[in-house]
Amino acid sequence: MNQLVEADDRQGGHASLATAALEARAKVLELQQRNASERVRRALYALAAEFTTVAAWSCIDLRDLDKARTYLHESSTFAGLSQDPPTAMRVWVNMAMLAYQRKNWPEQLAAAQAANASPAARRDPFFGSMSRVRLALAHSSLGDLRAARRSLGAAQENYRKAAEDERPRWTAFYGPAELNHLAAIILNHNGEPAEAEAMAHRSLAKIPAEFQRNRALATCQLALAQLRQGEPEQATATAGTVFTIMEALHCRGACAP
């Protein structure tokens, strides 16, 4: 699993990654046919959910959104059978991301609300921050600027309270850089480009070296904020660096926020 997550971090979703994830899922489900304890069975279902979610994420990057939706629904079933809160959280967050890509704002909000109501979000401020920033993005998409601001503030406060505990490998993407990047998106949506620019700069200052796709995305938000402040030349120069980043990664396809 870690190898697949690391491949996605480096290159993004691609067909071979989706195929590898589905092949791994098939092997995990085959193991379910053998005698095992309840604890082992739950762990296997959690793995099946993880592999299916990787396949779905690859499809999102490849813009095959219908197939991604199918895989995420399958993943939600496996996550439910696993009874593992972080696994369920990952599925809801990915459903919110997919709904954002499909421009289905009510579904985006419903998925973010499900993530926020999940046991993982209630027990751990880290996951609470992750779910609340998705709520903020959903409210912003729907034009509810006050609710978006409120949820963003709650996400930032939750992250400040989060302990540095050991969590699943897939959560490595979420930290100050990602939170500030999503804040830049929300503030750009809200018509607050000066604050969005500040958040984009904060994000870019903290993005780890292995998350260069995230750097490209945050740079896009920086360029948008500059353009909306009447700085077309600066925005054009900033946007131009995105191509350099993406070419270096050989990354094709969309990278969803």
Average pLDDT score over the chain = 90
182-241, pLDDT tens digit by residue?
A: 999 999 999 999 999 999 999 999 998 888 888 999 999 999 999 999 999 999 999 999
The secondary structure element, H or E, covering residue 8 is helix 2-11
What average pLDDT does range 106-120 have in this prediction? Answer: 97
* pTM tops 0.75, yes or no: yes
The one-letter amino acid at 120: A
Cα 233–246–108 angle (5° rounding)?
90
Q: Helix (H, G, I), strand (E, B), or coil: what is residue 53?
A: helix
Q: What is the pLDDT of residues 136-145, one digit of tens each?
A: 999 999 999 9
Give residue 122's pLDDT band: very low, low, confident or very high (50, 70, 90). Answer: very high
Q: What is the C-alpha radius of gyration for the chain, rounded to an integer number of angstroms?
A: 18
